[in-house]
Amino acid sequence: MDTTLLRIENLSKTFATVKANDNISLEVNKGEVVALLGENGAGKSTLVKSVFGLVKPDSGTITIKGEVIEAGDTAAAIRHGIGMVHQHFQLVPVMSVAENIILGDEPHKGAFISYAEARESVKELSDKFGLDIDPDAIVEDLPVGLQQRVEILKALRKNVDLLILDEPTAVLTPQEIEELLQVIRNLSSQGVGIIFITHKLREVLAVADRIVVLRNGKSVGTATPKESTESSLAQLMIGREVIFRLDKKEAKPGAVVLEIDDLYVKDDRKLMSVNGLSLSLHAGEILGVAGVEGNGQRELVEALTGMRPTVKGSFSILGEVAIGKNPHAIHTMGVSHVPEDREKDGLIATLSIDENLVLNQYKNPPFAKGWIRNIAAVNSYAAKMIEKFDVRTPSGKYPINSLSGGNKQKVVIAREMSQDSKIIIASQPTRGIDIGSIEFIHNQLLASRDSGVAVLLVSAELDEILSISDRIAVMYGGKIVAILDPHDVDRTQIGRLMAGATQ
């Protein structure tokens, strides 16, 4: 009997000029967990989106249980028993859990939705898979871990044969990740085939039956966890031997340059998100803020950089109280800011690379003299930056949108690290970029720290925090719950703290 569940044959997809998928073939058997491994931009997401009908491939066929499914048709994919949990949750925040789960296949009497039946079916599902949730809760009020649970339930309700999980662990605590891996094992033992996308090697080795590695849109190899090590997989993924050449000397911390005292900040929904946080940052150190996303890190960074008003408490920069100042004033005090969401906050997509390189200095000499801007000065400065920070572009006149994620981030880094700042606040500085750029950015941060700059590094990647921080502050529920030394700390301890356990 044929146990092949999914068969992808010679699938290709090109976006504009980028070959996202280049002639990829792949099989998944019943009850098998296949890990799709690859760097950001390797084409993992595009491949699974093609399977789920969210992207229409240029060529190639997708067969499930022997039947060819129509390309670019989500409804058909769902009919064929394919479910998907997206990296960015596909939930309607203002609706209830039950409404989100039934969406698209609502229990009904005539045209009317039967809410009693909906609640019942949600309860049934959560009992069956041990994923407890309140069907009447409004999704936007739930923590991220529970929102993911809604996503998984949504997929499971459709009696899936194949479940696709796109970077499901990015937003979870180590403990939550453990639970999720358990759920995956459960599902596969019930015969569900699973495609699990990640770039975290540890998880791959823990849960996969088979590992497929993508690089630059091509399938470059298959492996099993037994015959692989983290470094063999990394080499396959990157295409060269990886030596993490971090040039990390001993830190020489100096005076306190940023002092936060009992700070309170509200989020977009007017809920208190930073809850009486105190912290001090020294010159010449990298202080890593570890924590699961949504514990107030974003609001903290936005408050410290003047982008978000504070409610109570205060903070001072180089001894000067900085509460209530706008981004321009704080920038002038010597604070650089690498924002979490570079597309939304850090760059203006349709402006040129040159303009973006001076975005927050457009008024300063030599880029402007009074009211009049000096475009020639902007261009020649930008040319130097493009060279120095190795931004891959034929010219700075192109819109920033023409660059890849890693190169866009280099533009932000170039701008923020070339301004003689005393403090660099970097939020998720390596999110969504290739390993080469990550290495580059880490070395830049270390170089700044060695020259006496204070770096506040906020990151959801524990590995990043562990590898370059001099001190680690664990943030939970809007507070710093522990300050740790990276030399004598283990992952499980940090993981427990990130999940709210007391020390």
Partner 1 sequence: MKLKVTRDVLVPIASVLVALAIGAILIASQGHSPMTAYHVLIVKGFQSTAGLQSTLSKAGILIMSGLAITIGLRAGLFNIGAQGQVLSGALAFTYVGYRLHGLPIWIHLPVALVVGAAFGALVGGFAGFLKATRGVHEVISTIMLNSIMAGVVDYLTQNQFRLQGQPNTRTPEILHSARLPHIFGYPSGFLIAVLLAFFVSWVLKKTTTGFEFESVGRNRNAAWYAGISVKKTIVLGMLVSGAIAGFTGAIFSSETTGYFVPAFYSGIGFDGITVALLGRANPKALIPGAIFIGGMRSAQSAIQFEAGVAPDIINLLLALVLFFATAPFLAKLLKSNAKSITTTSGWGS
Partner 2 sequence: MLNTIKSFNFKSWKFLLSVATVALWIYCYSANMDITNSVVASGMRFGMPLALASMVGIMCERSGVINIGIEGTMLLSGFTGFYVASYSKNIVIGLVIAILTGVLTSFVHAMMTIKWGMDQIIAGTIINILASGLTSFLYREGSTVPNTWPIFDIPVLSKIPLLGASLFSQLGPIQLFGMFLIPAIWVMMNKTRWGLRTRSVGENPGAADTAGINVIRMRMTNVMIGGAIGGLVGGFICLELVGSFSKDFTAGTGFTALALMIFGRWNPLGAFAAAILFGLAQALATQLQIFGVNNVPNQFITILPYVFTILVLAFSAGKVRPPAAAGKPYEKEQS
Q: Round to whole Å and give the CA distance between 193 and 136.
A: 30
The angle at the Cα of 402, spanning 400 to 408, to the nearest 5 degrees, equals 50
Position 15 contacts partner 2 (CB under 8 A): yes
Question: Between 242 and 368, whose beta carbon lies closer to partner 1?
Answer: 368
In the chain, how long is the greatest CA-to-CA distance? Answer: 79
Contact status, residue 166 vs residue 87, Cβ threshold 8 Å: yes
Position 215 contacts partner 2 (CB under 8 A): no
Contact status, residue 202 vs residue 495, Cβ threshold 8 Å: no
Position 106 contacts partner 2 (CB under 8 A): yes
Q: Please identify which residue in 53, 168, 296, 346 interacts with partner 1, judged by CB under 8 A.
A: 346
Site for partner 1 in 317-336 (CB under 8 A): 326-328, 331
Candidates 375, 430, 384; CA nearest to 408 is 430
Position 362 contacts partner 1 (CB under 8 A): yes
Q: Please identify which residue in 349, 376, 483, 501 interacts with partner 1, judged by CB under 8 A.
A: 349
Contact flags string 39-58 toward partner 2, x per CB under 8 A: ------xx-----x-xxx--
Backbone region of residue 252 per phi and psi (left: phi > 0; alpha: psi in -120 to 50; beta: other values)? beta
Contact flags string 189-228 toward partner 1, x per CB under 8 A: ----------------------------------------
> Which structure tokens are listed for 240?
């060269």
Position 18 contacts partner 1 (CB under 8 A): no
DSSP 113-170: E-HHHHHHHHHHHHHHHT----TTSBGGGS-HHHHHHHHHHHHHTT--SEEEEESTTT
Select the binding partner of residue 100 from partner 1, partner 2, none (C-beta < 5 to 8 A, by kind).
partner 2
State the minimum distance, in angstroms, from the CB of residue 355 to partner 1. 8
Position 483 contacts partner 1 (CB under 8 A): no
Position 272 contacts partner 2 (CB under 8 A): no
Candidates 83, 458, 466; CA nearest to 298 is 458
- Which range of residues in 81-89, 358-366, 371-379, 408-416 is near partner 2 by CB under 8 A? 81-89
Q: Please identify which residue in 360, 393, 419, 493 interacts with partner 1, judged by CB under 8 A.
A: 360
Contact status, residue 359 vs residue 414, Cβ threshold 8 Å: no
Which 3 state secondary structure label does DSSP give 76? helix
Question: Between 363 and 388, whose beta carbon lies closer to partner 1?
Answer: 363
Whether the link from the prior residue into 486 is cis, omega within 30° of 0, is no
Question: Between 113 and 206, whose beta carbon lies closer to partner 2?
Answer: 113
Select the binding partner of residue 375 from partner 1, partner 2, none (C-beta < 5 to 8 A, by kind).
partner 1
Position 239 contacts partner 2 (CB under 8 A): no
Q: Please identify which residue in 372, 394, 487, 503 interacts with partner 1, judged by CB under 8 A.
A: 372
Q: Round to whole Å and give the CA distance between 213 and 38.
A: 6
Position 95 contacts partner 2 (CB under 8 A): yes
Q: What sections of 191-286 are H helices per DSSP?
A: 201-207, 230-238
Residues that bind partner 2 (CB under 8 A): 15, 18, 20, 45-46, 52, 54-56, 72, 74-75, 78-79, 84, 86, 88, 90-95, 99-100, 102-106, 108, 111-113, 154
